[in-house]
Amino acid sequence: MQQLIGSDILTLAEFTPQTLAAFLERASAQKRAAKTAAAFRPLAGRSVAIIMLKPSLRTRVSFEIAVTKLGATPVILGEGSAFSRGESVRDTMKVLERYVDCIVLRTFAQSQLEEVAACASIPVINALSDGYHPCQVLADLLTIQEKKGKLAGVRAAYLGDGNNMANTLLIGAALAGMNLTVGCPEGSDPLPEAVEVARAIARATGARLEIVRDPHSAVAGADVVITDTWTSMGEEAEHDMRVQRFAPFRVDAALMSGAAPGAIFMHCLPAHRGEEVTDEVIDSPASVVYDEAENRLHAQKALLTMVLG
Ligand code: CP
Ligand code: NVA
């Protein structure tokens, strides 16, 4: 099996169906053990820089705790540290890699992440970019597997903006053999390169991937209904236009009623209640958003142990 030791994780396409299965097994086992067993500190003596160039609650906290629980030292860098004062990406990386064993980076352009990864000799993990959010989708797949008992053949629907979450969910679903229908308005499609990569993987795993314009047909018979903000970080100036554009894709009780019996609702959070999802859905028994948020911690612990060996 191809290993992930030393790999950068920039989009999720670094995984294969086999490494994803190994990841899910490891994350589930470590999660179970964490509730009972003594401390598990396989990364003692290592250190991880966590660079956040956009706001974050879940990712920042769960990575800091994950690194600490594994026995390593987290170093949180915000504005005014890495990439400030006009220092080049290359100089920044050549210095940081003398101190730490891994870089976790949340930033804007995917190209910046790629540049960081090209300059650094240590693994770089995408903690969200404009293009992809692999750590979130690993946690989402772990959550769906827990709730539905499997991933292959599960029917998932993603509603709203074809953004970083949609791009990464397509790749994740393809790797897992899970069927995914993205319902989004024309002009807000997922990235063509993400769709192409996902379709190539899906040809091997049998996952069915679709992009449709009608929200009701997207959720029809779905076991899992997923949405995300209509206005991602960096797009705030477009908020009013986006609220108009995506209104038909709001996940409310009427839309959820078209999903399969026992369907679950997921959202990476933060939610904009009343925009992409109503209170009655996100606060309903179908909603698993807090289990999903908890799984960020378990997923990242497993990921860090796979990448750092
Ligand atoms: N879901 C997620 O990535 O949350 P944060 O933006 O709070 O990290
Ligand atoms: N699509 C959202 C995800 C936040 C976790 C954003 O990029 O802001």
**pLDDT 10s digits, 188-208:** 999 999 999 999 999 999 999
The span from the CA of 147 to the CA of 145, in Å, is 6
Cβ pair 157, 130 in contact under 8 A: no
Quote the percentage of the chain above a pLDDT of 90: 94
Q: Does the annotation count 106 as an active-site position?
A: yes
Q: Does the annotation count 268 as an active-site position?
A: yes
Q: Is the pLDDT of residue 2 over 80?
A: no
**pLDDT 10s digits, 50-91:** 999 999 999 999 999 999 999 999 999 987 888 889 999 999
> Does 22 share its domain with 95?
yes
> Does 169 share its domain with 207?
yes
Q: 85 CA distance to ligand 1 centroid (A)? A: 26
pTM of the prediction? Answer: 0.98
> Does 127 share its domain with 149?
no
Find the catalytic residue in 102, 135, 184, 268: 268
> Does 6 share its domain with 92?
yes
Q: Does the annotation count 291 as an active-site position?
A: no
> Does 119 share its domain with 163?
no
Is the beta carbon of 164 within 6 A of some atom in ligand 1? no
Domain that holds residue 151: 136-292
Q: 196 CA distance to ligand 1 centroid (A)? A: 26
Is the beta carbon of 126 within 6 A of some atom in ligand 2? no
The span from the CA of 111 to the CA of 153, in Å, is 34
What integer pLDDT is reported at residue 1 of this predicted model?
A: 54
Q: Hey, which of 164, 182, 226 would you mutate to test ligand 2's pocket, going by the most ligand atoms within 8 Å of its Cβ?
A: 164
DSSP 189: P
> Does 14 share its domain with 102?
yes
> Does 254 share its domain with 162?
yes
The span from the CA of 161 to the CA of 166, in Å, is 7
Q: 247 CA distance to ligand 2 centroid (A)? A: 18
Q: Does the annotation count 145 as an active-site position?
A: no
Q: What is the number of the ligand closest to the CA of 132?
A: 2
Is the beta carbon of 268 within 6 A of some atom in ligand 1? yes
> Does 80 share its domain with 7?
yes
**pLDDT 10s digits, 274-290:** 999 999 999 999 999 99
Q: 134 CA distance to ligand 2 centroid (A)? A: 12
> Does 80 share its domain with 218?
no
> Does 284 share its domain with 142?
yes
**How many structural domains does the chain have?**
2
Q: What is the mean pLDDT of residues 218-241?
A: 98
Indicate which CATH number applies to the domain containing 282: 3.40.50.1370
> Does 270 share its domain with 148?
yes
Q: Does the annotation count 228 as an active-site position?
A: yes
Is the beta carbon of 59 within 6 A of some atom in ligand 2? no
> Does 30 share its domain with 119?
yes
